[in-house]
Amino acid sequence: MNENFINFHILISHSPSCLNRDDMNMQKSAIFGGKRRVRISSQSLKRTMRHSDYYRQHLGEPSVRTKHLWDPDKNNLKDQAIEELNDRFDEDLIAKTIELISGKKLDSETKVENDAVAPWVMDEIAYFCEQVKKMEAEGLDPKKLQKQIEKDSTAFRQALVKGLDIALSGRMATSGLMSEIGKIDGALAVAHALTTHTVDADIDWFTAVDDLQELGSGHLDTQEFSSGVFYRYASLNLKQLQVNLGLLANMDSEATQESRAKALNIAAHVFHMLATEVPSAKQQSFAAHNLADLALVCFSDQPVSLANAFEEPVKAAPKGGFREPSMQKMNEYWKKIHRGYDLKERCAEFSLQRGELPEGIESQPSLPELENWVRQNGAA
């Protein structure tokens, strides 16, 4: 079977921490089921994943996300592109290319910003440099260049292989050549992680002791923090990922065994990061380096979240703790929703807490073995 979606469901218990803060330096939260939950934003989770050592080791360098096209006083895209591509293209060509794809004139003295923070990939800029070079040799104008690239969109998409996070998360573009051909529909949807139970925040009154001051402290401040079991959910559209990477021409194309295998390998790495990567905020103070307690993966014909398992907040176990009740609630809700909608998912689960699984969920003894199950197309 070749279902088009993979749904990832993760339960991870974080010890006292403040992993994601708002503009008031308070931990992010959300009301769900009429009760306050602590929240880790999807943006925080995605940035944590793409900037992790694991990502660099297995998936390459992430994209550069910036609005600073040119600024003589800051790091900027033009200078970075010149530094990385100077062995292939001259400075004037690189600058001209960035102007064309961004729709902005790069003044040599005045700073130039994009309309918004946008992701850029050096391989993509290099691809455009090649096309601009041809344009200059053949006397083509930018509109003809755009049509030429659109005709060979697969080659353009293949430049994203080294900017995988764009293929996963997508890209909006509002000006220049990118506004027409640079838009990418994201293949990966990531939900904000929420605690499965209500949370009352604690306040840490902390001081910084001044070794050269005789009495009192050199600094006094407060920091909100809490602990909890978080539900992380993400859904990966395998066909969209293959299209974004130039492995398929469009969404109507039939996936090949090779293109699907490449997408499944990426899916296994995404799953690993969802189960193991933790935002770095305040970690020097809290060290909440916790791994997933439960990881459930489902091949499906549609995205299906299990967040409503926790719409009524989980109550602590008689002896304390939210981990086991959260695991039980999630599996019970999985059973209900599959019975109620006659869903035809193929699922496998790894859990640190051994227990009886609902019929239809295969047990995997370790996270690596569950990752291999994903690579093998759910052992289909």
Measured torsion, CA atoms of residues 281, 285, 289, 294, in degrees rounded to the nearest 10: -80
Q: For the chain, what is the domain count?
A: 2
- Residue 83 burial (CB < 10 Å; 0-12/13-18/19+)? exposed
**Within a domain: residue 22?**
yes
Q: Assess whether 115 and 21 both reside in one domain.
A: no
Q: What CA–CA distance (Å, rounded) separates 328 from 334?
A: 10
Q: Assess whether 287 and 310 both reside in one domain.
A: yes
Query: pTM to 2 decimals?
Result: 0.94
pLDDT at 177: 76
Q: Tell whether the model's pLDDT for residue 161 goes beyond 80.
A: no
Give the structural domain span for 13.
5-41+192-212+227-375
Q: Assess whether 89 and 68 both reside in one domain.
A: yes
CA angle (227 as vertex; 223, 233 as ends), nearest 5: 115
Q: Tell whether the model's pLDDT for residue 152 goes beyond 80.
A: no
Task: Region of 299 please: left (phi>0), alpha (psi -120 to 50) or beta.
Answer: beta
**Within a domain: residue 265?**
yes
Q: Assess whether 68 and 156 both reside in one domain.
A: yes
**Within a domain: residue 355?**
yes
**Within a domain: residue 142?**
yes
Q: Tell whether the model's pLDDT for residue 150 goes beyond 80.
A: no
- The tens digit of pLDDT for each residue in 243-297 reads 999 899 899 999 999 999 999 999 999 999 999 999 999 898 899 999 999 999 9
**Within a domain: residue 281?**
yes
What confidence tier does 7 reach under pLDDT thresholds 50, 70, 90?
Answer: very high
What confidence tier does 380 reach under pLDDT thresholds 50, 70, 90?
Answer: low
**Within a domain: residue 341?**
yes
Q: Are strands 64-70 and 29-32 parallel, antiparallel or unpaired?
A: unpaired
- The tens digit of pLDDT for each residue in 88-133 reads 999 999 999 999 989 899 877 789 998 889 999 999 899 999 989 9
Query: Which of these three, 158, 181, 204, is where a domain ends?
Result: 181
Highest mean pLDDT among 159-168, 209-218, 339-348: 339-348
Q: Assess whether 100 and 19 both reside in one domain.
A: no
pLDDT at 149: 78
pLDDT at 174: 63
Q: Tell whether the model's pLDDT for residue 60 goes beyond 80.
A: yes
Q: Assess whether 243 and 366 both reside in one domain.
A: yes
**Within a domain: residue 284?**
yes
Q: What CA–CA distance (Å, rounded) separates 37 from 15?
A: 15
Question: What average pLDDT is seen over the chain?
Answer: 92
- The tens digit of pLDDT for each residue in 12-34 reads 999 999 999 988 888 999 999 99
Q: Assess whether 150 and 111 both reside in one domain.
A: yes
Q: Assess whether 176 and 238 both reside in one domain.
A: no
Question: Is the distance from CB of 223 to CB of 201 less than 8 angstroms?
Answer: no
Lowest mean pLDDT among 152-156, 234-238, 256-260, 345-349: 152-156
Q: Assess whether 166 and 238 both reside in one domain.
A: no
- The residue with greater pLDDT, 303 or 216, is 303
Q: Assess whether 203 and 347 both reside in one domain.
A: yes
**Within a domain: residue 50?**
no
Q: Assess whether 251 and 272 both reside in one domain.
A: yes
Q: Assess whether 241 and 342 both reside in one domain.
A: yes
